[in-house]
Structure formats: structure tokens, C-alpha cells
Amino acid sequence: MRPTLLPPAPPVVELAVDASGLIAEIEAYLASLPTPTRHPLPYVCPLGRTVQPWYAGHPLPHRTPLDRLARRPARPVPVSAAQHLELTSRYLTAAGWLQGALWDATGRVCLLGAQAAVLAHGYGRPATVQTARVQVMEVLHATGRPVTSPDEYNDRPTTRQADIHRLLEQAALRARSLGL
């Protein structure tokens, strides 16, 4: 058999696009734009401040590798009684307030339900909640509202959500002044 000769390959021609003109045009355009006069700031609603989660300013509870191995929940984030009362007020604002039940189908909660939810989300320990409830009772009795529990005050027909927030704020101030 006779070897066949292939025709020689055509020479490789490199085509280069000269983009220097386009780049120069883009650079000139960008240089013609005015420089920003101030640094960009986060958006703030004209009606108030930006929406934040109820636990803002506190770290989220996170599970350690040992927690995952032991299949247990994350350790609670330590909070003081005053911080627990402030978080309870924020949670009430976020979830909505309710009278006559711990919570309802829409997620609204009463005072006790909000305290339980803050605890269930991993902020504080049961002893912290108990100390906070004692502070609430102290404020109720000191302000001339003798009741057997904060829940009784929560469920009174004359009590409003603003009253609960004011009560929590006063109890948090009292707890902070006592170092709790």
C-alpha cells in the first residue's frame, strides 16, 4: 500500500481584537461621573427606625460540636433579669399581645407566654425568669396594683398592651438598679 500524502495544514492566523479604544472610552466615561459626596448609609425608614429582630443586640444560641454529638439543644445565652424583661417586651411587640391565654393560633402571646418564648428561644435560664417575675411583682405591689401574679394583671379587662410594656420597663429598671 502506498502512503498518501496529506496536503499541508494552512498557517494559523491569530486574530487579536484591539480593545484599547473601548477601554479608553469606558475609563473616560467613569472619570466624567461625579464622585459621591457622602458615604452610603443603611436605609432608615422616614417613619422611624429600621425593623430589627426582637433579639437584636444578643447573640443567637448556637450548638457546639459536643452539643451535636450529644444530640442536645444549644446552651442558653446568659442574660440578666433586666435583659430578660427587655427581651420579653420586644418579643411582645414582635409577636403581638394577648389576654386570657398563653398564646393563640396567630402567634400572639400574653406576658407569661412571652417570657416562656424568650426562654424557649435560648435566652436565660428558668432561674432568670423567676427572678424577673419577682421584679414584676415588686413593681406591681409598689405601684398600688396588688395582684397574686403578673398573669392576673395581664388578663384584667382594664390592662392594655402599653401597660404591660411600661410594667416590664419599670421592672427592668428596678432589676438593673439591684444588679440583677
Q: Determine contact, residues 131/82, Cβ cutoff 8 Å.
A: no
What the block records as the C-alpha cell of 85 is 424583661
> For residue 133, which of 119, 54, 144 has the smallest C-alpha distance?
119
pLDDT of residue 82: 94
pLDDT of residue 67: 85
Q: Determine contact, residues 88/111, Cβ cutoff 8 Å.
A: yes
Per-residue pLDDT of the chain (180 residues; tens, 9 = 90+): 566 666 676 666 565 556 667 777 877 877 787 765 555 555 555 666 666 788 888 888 888 888 888 888 888 899 999 999 999 999 999 898 899 888 888 989 999 999 999 999 989 999 999 999 999 999 999 988 888 889 899 989 999 999 999 999 999 999 999 888
pTM, full prediction: 0.69
Strand, helix or coil at 75? coil
CA-CA distance, 129 to 125, in Å (whole number)? 7
Strand, helix or coil at 123? strand
Q: Could you state, in order of their start, the residue ranges of all structural domains in the chain?
A: 78-177
For residue 83, the number of C-alpha atoms closer than 13 Å in the C-beta half-sphere is: 15
